[in-house]
Structures are given as structure tokens and as C-alpha cells.
Amino acid sequence: MNKTLTALLLAAIAIPAAHADTPAEIRSQAFKKMLLQSFEPMGMAVRERAPYDKAKFEQQAEAMKTLAAEPFKHFPANSVTGKSRAKPEIWSQPAKFQADRDVFLKSVDNLAAIAKAGDLAVIKKAYGQVAQNCKTCHDAFRGPEK
């Protein structure tokens, strides 16, 4: 076998190992991705640590809709493994967990709609509501760091 082919095969084997594979890892990475790619960049503008750019903020708020929904696709039963901070209440009180998720996702939709008008004072309130909804769910359903 020539060297190039060997290298290609090894690369193909190495890729899956570098990715998250348990649902707990997948959802944790999805939460982090949302935080880094949209929630925190918007937060910089909201806290006036970075200039507010209407078009950019609109894009980040729009991207947040998809990014925010993603982690919630990865909460199958019995998936508290490794360093997962998911509390058992997620599965013993599924209606409350889903309600918290839905209120949160609605506030994310609202922020994206508000962003289009470009009024920073109104945006700050809508952003604050989203942040409050993160906290409400974390207080009820996310345990301490392990």
C-alpha cells in the first residue's frame, strides 16, 4: 500500500474518534456552540463591550433559532453519562422540561424578530428574557459541574 493511501485511511479512522459520540457529549457541545456562535457574540453587543452592528446582530439572532433547538434533540432516556450535568428531573418531569424549553425557544424567536427593527434598548430587554430562560431551566434541570 502506498503511503498516501495509508495516510488517508488512518485519517478516516481518526475522524470519528475526535467527534462527540454519546448523547450527553453531543448536547453539551451543541449548547457550547450556541453560546459561542450566537448567544455570547450578541451578549457583547448588548453589554456594549462590542459595537452594535444591526445586520450582524440580525444574523446572529437568526442563527440562534437553529442553534438553540439543536441540544434538545439529544436527551434520550438514560443518557446521564460521563460528565453530564443533566438532572434526573428532565425525565421524571418531562412536561416541565418541555415547557421550559418551549418558553426559551419562543423567546429566541422573539429576539430574532425584535432584532429586525434594530432598536438596541428593545433588543436588550428581549435578550435579557432569553438569558432569564437559560437560568430558569438550569436552576431546575442542570446539576453542578463534575
CA–CA dist 76, 91 (Å, integer): 9
Q: How far is the CB of 7 from ligand HEC (least distance, A)?
A: 35
**Angle formed by the axes of helices 94-115 and 120-141, nearest 10°:** 170
63 binds ligand HEC (CB under 6 A): no
Beta bridge partners of 86: 142
Compute the least distance from the CB of residue 9 to ligand HEC, in Å: 34
**Cα–Cα distances in Å, from 68 out to 11, 48, 92, 126, 141?**
31, 23, 23, 15, 16
Q: Which is nearer to ligand HEC, 35 or 63 (CB)?
A: 35
Q: Strand, coil or helix: what is 142?
A: strand
Query: What residues from 77 to 96 belong to the interface with ligand HEC (CB under 6 A)?
Result: 84-86
The verdict on 67 binding ligand HEC (CB under 6 A) reads: no
Determine if 33 is a binding residue for ligand HEC (CB under 6 A).
no
**DSSP state, residue 22:** S
Residue 142 touching ligand HEC (CB under 6 A) = yes
Binding site for ligand HEC (CB under 6 A): 24, 27-28, 31-32, 35, 39, 84-86, 97, 100-101, 104, 130, 133-134, 137-138, 141-142
